Structure 1
């Protein structure tokens, strides 16, 4: 994992995905971004699907 990326596993208090709002206990992983922003594994997967569909449409 790159030094600047921090995956937050279940157990930290009051962390939520900044995109879907799910609590850290409802997802497998939260990835920390800059300035307290987090994205969960489910939102990452959704973003990947959206990008893949857009590439196929081009």
Structure 2
């Protein structure tokens, strides 16, 4: 999962299209767990990443 967040700023449209097709309750749960465990890593990768994560956590 970390690679998704690290490159997010480079290929936003393509990544969002893939995520839209792949996200389900299991993947949302996995992302929530990752963010909770690695929030500092996520925060260091930019505000745009955090905004996406907030959307994922709210779903």
Higher strand fraction (1 or 2):
1
Structure ranking higher on relative contact order (CA contacts 8 Å, 6+ apart) = 2
TM-score, normalising length: structure 2: 0.30
Please say which structure displays the higher CA radius of gyration: 1
